Structure 1
């Protein structure tokens, strides 16, 4: 497969005219935090390697940096050696991405924050992948911007940065800020950037190289459709399940949910028992406890604030519900959550 433009014929070139110079490669930096998601990083760097290969020309270069300057381990233990120091004020870069996973809310490095601000002042495009937007937000570089990040990090991020607009998309490209939800979405992001840099032919060639038969747009949803994720096709249940997921801070009443489904409360309870396998209350409670667990892991919110964000009257009520869930989990004969 070749996607090189046809070379000019000798008859069209003046003998005294020098061959056109190759364009300067775009340089992309990756700031890798300990525990960074390897899949997200690979999905971002590999398309550039493929572009170079397909064009038989170095149109992209990249470097790595890590806080502390030592080898940085990915979430699966694979280590990458940085080749640029955090704080380097003379490095070459057109775009710089922060790639983070785990609990980015707990990572605070003043030197890295200062460096990101310096890069922004230089006019370098800055991006965050997976949990990387946390670091940009902490540095004040997403103020007044729209951003996305991995759905797992969204609840804690929204609690910590309520003034930043978060969209649950694959990626967002907004002027000199780029944010990406991570995972395979990083491949779609890079394909879109390659198209902007070098045209759709190269982007399609790279996509085909990786057996990726559809380049997704940034606004595509992150998560699998509820019908597939939960295995439910009943439109009445789907309306209720979607409403539950988006109303955790102020849980909807059983009557309100039944009205959404356009059935009686008794009929809705039967739908949950027959199609989900647990009661409506048990499912809703499980969603709220899962959110509370996420906030404990990825934010510095107090127990009282977490309780408020997940629809519990106070921290004590949340603690009791969590304790009952743990006790229930120790019983091998059951997998549901009791009230």
Structure 2
């Protein structure tokens, strides 16, 4: 998905499949390229499916996908997308990270799909770049890699690389690639085949959940989500919003039926629940990542919200 210089057709793209990768995001990236080939009557795009040893890879849905290349056989790729999902760092080691560094050094443009940016960041290849990944993993990613500008957009394409949030966002990113390479008409015809009613802009937000109607309340919640590791004080939060703390309190009570303190704590504990479910971090590390000064204070708060301690929750079958 290189921007410059143009790559002659067929353009070859590598997809590195990490264990438990997101199948839906992978196919969402591939299908627009396949359809573009069919409509054009020419092989505009080709792809390699790469695994560490060339063996099949099990996706997060339990299905197995056959790889076409091992790392050692995947050379001279113009672009490489790292596909991941749950526990994106569980399969990383220095050999894999060194291979990614070698790809970058050879001029390969690297990108991440869903949580693939964890691998690229762990290899030190994303410092000072803007990337996106699945919204659920953004707080942990920002904590782990503070030198990377991680944003909640649908996809990002820069001269340095590319990334998308996974799921259907990969469709939008591939449609953008088709448009840049082969024009608006082909991209629109592919979109019609996919019954994808409109192309979302890169800066579109990933979520539009039953958002609070009040714009100030939305900003307050956004600030909370951006500061889970080092929570803002309520007076500090109010100052950021240019409100008095009493007015902020009334705003939450009117629209959400709770206080800012309780709403903030609930978001921190829900993030902790996700980390316990999807990572192997210790309870203490998760406590710190969610703004708790000690494991004991985290455990008490977690038990009050979820009915069990973090350790008990993790031991469940």
Fold-level similarity (TM above 0.5)? yes
Alpha-carbon deviations, 1:145-202, whole Å to 9, x = none?
2222111222222222111222222222222421211111111111111112111221
Aligned to 1:132: 116
Rounded Cα–Cα distance in structure 2 between residues aligned with 1:313 and 1:85: 44
2:301 is aligned, of 296, 321, 332, to 321
Aligned-residue offset at 1:313: 3.2
Aligned 8 A contact 1:95 1:125 in 2: yes
Rounded Cα–Cα distance in structure 2 between residues aligned with 1:114 and 1:313: 35
Pairing of 1:1-339 with structure 2 (within 5 A): 24-88=9-73, 91=75, 93-224=77-208, 229-230=209-210, 232-235=212-215, 237-254=217-234, 260=241, 265=246, 272=252, 275-296=255-276, 303-327=283-307
Task: Assess, with a 3 A threshold, how the Cα gap between structure 1 residues 250 and 159 changes in structure 2: closer, same or farther.
Answer: closer
Aligned 8 A contact 2:191 2:198 in 1: yes
Task: Assess, with a 3 A threshold, how the Cα gap between structure 1 residues 51 and 68 changes in structure 2: closer, same or farther.
Answer: same
Aligned residues: 301
Q: Tell me, what secondary structure is at the counterpart of 1:99? A: strand
Rounded Cα–Cα distance in structure 1 between residues aligned with 2:236 and 2:33: 50
The answer for unaligned runs of 5 or more in structure 1 is: 1-22, 330-339
Aligned-residue offset at 1:106: 2.4
Aligned to 1:12: none
Rounded Cα–Cα distance in structure 2 between residues aligned with 1:141 and 1:254: 36
Task: Assess, with a 3 A threshold, how the Cα gap between structure 1 residues 162 and 252 changes in structure 2: closer, same or farther.
Answer: closer
Rounded Cα–Cα distance in structure 2 between residues aligned with 1:52 and 1:92: 22
RMSD: 2.7
Task: Assess, with a 3 A threshold, how the Cα gap between structure 1 residues 298 and 328 changes in structure 2: closer, same or farther.
Answer: closer
What TM-score results when the alignment is normalised by the length of structure 1? Answer: 0.78
What TM-score results when the alignment is normalised by the length of structure 2? Answer: 0.83
Rounded Cα–Cα distance in structure 2 between residues aligned with 1:146 and 1:243: 19
Aligned 8 A contact 1:70 1:82 in 2: yes
